[in-house]
Amino acid sequence: MLDEEVRDRLRVAGFLHLKKVFGPTELGHVEALLDPLLERFEGLPSSRAHRPDAKEGGPHLIRDLNRASVELPALKETEVYRRSRELARDLLSVRRVGCSFDHVIYKDPGAGPVDWHQDQVYKTSVPRMRSVHLWIPFHPVGRENGCMQFVEGSHRGGLKPHRSVEGTRVLGSPPEEPYTAEMDLGDVSVHLPLTVHRSLPNRSSTTRRAWILHFSRFGRWEVITPRNVVDLVSQRFWRRRSHEAVSP
């Protein structure tokens, strides 16, 4: 069980760096499931297999597999998944949670950064996500091989304007000095939907592997909860009013 101090730190900073959450055997089990799947990445459905660094004529060095646990249901039977769900339940202070989204990112040697963004910008069906996002690496990560960086307190400023770049949504460089999450084997980072974050380039000679899990109280059913329906209606109403106000 987590104490209230940890939850407070998440609410204030917008992220956590938790030490030694998983053991090598637990992580190795998940990696053994994922590696063969990512080896056949090019043959997976394009709706799930995404290349965020894809440019015409350029190298494709980032493999991003959306909803990996749908493609490979055995992932949900692992100890890493079970304990991640328990951690999310403790952080959200609710009796049960569901996985609303997960994806796996393999950054091959030479891959560039995943630029500054907020996860909320990608979830238009849920205007106010109420979830925690776990970032689980399968090996130590640091500045050399593409660790995460977070801007403390950035979640309190709401959703910021993003621009579209090569099929992704990105922010400019934040003025604040970011926290660099250099993590040992077994460490986990947690962040909120509005926390500004990025990952650094992989300048090492090995692939950087990570599994990202989003948990919320209602999981994938969050989109049809009464609270979210009200949020969607309100958002569309104010968009229409704004459009009418600027129309000639």
DSSP one-letter string for 89-151: HHHHT-S--EEEEEEEEEE-TT---EEEE-GGGG-TTSSS--EEEEEEESS-B-TTBT-EEE-
Q: 243 pLDDT exceeds 50?
A: no
Q: Give the model confidence (pLDDT) of 9-43 as tens digits.
A: 999 999 999 999 999 999 999 999 999 999 999 89
Model confidence pLDDT, tens digit, residues 188-225: 999 999 999 999 999 999 999 999 999 999 888 787 77
Which of 75-84, 127-136, 149-158, 165-174 is the least confident region? 165-174
More confident residue, 148 or 228: 148
CB–CB of 61/108 below 8 Å? yes
Percent residues over pLDDT 70 in the chain? 90
Kindly give the interhelix angle for 24-39 and 79-92, rounded to the nearest 10 degrees.
Answer: 110
Predicted confidence at residue 126, as pLDDT, reads 75
Between β-strands 49-50 and 197-199, what pairing exists: parallel, antiparallel or unpaired?
A: unpaired
Q: What does the pLDDT read at residue 55?
A: 59
CA dist., res. 79 & res. 85, Å (int): 10
Comparing C-alpha atoms, which of 79, 43, 83, 77 is closest to residue 63? Answer: 43
Which pLDDT belongs to residue 5? 94
Residue with tokens 């996002």: 133
In angstroms, the Cα distances linking 67 to 12, 40, 49, 166, 214 are 29, 16, 9, 21, 10
Give dist(CA 129, CA 122) in Å, integer: 11
Of 73, 120, 97, 93, the residue nearest 215 (C-alpha)? 97
Tell me, rounded to whole angstroms, the distance of Cα 24 from its chain centroid. 22
- Cα 138 to Cα 25: distance, rounded to the nearest angstrom: 10
Residue 72 has pLDDT above 90, yes or no: yes
pLDDT above 60 (res 182): yes
- Distances in Å between the alpha carbon of 139 and those of 9, 18, 62, 79, 135? 25, 15, 17, 17, 12
Q: Please list, in sequence order, all residues whose beta carbon lies within 8 angstroms of the beta carbon of residue 16, skipping any fewer than 6 positions away.
A: 6, 9, 10, 189, 190, 191
Q: Judge residue 13's burial from the number of C-beta atoms within 10 Å of its C-beta, 0-12 exposed, 13-18 middle, 19 or more buried.
A: buried
Confidence of residue 244 (pLDDT cuts 50, 70, 90): very low
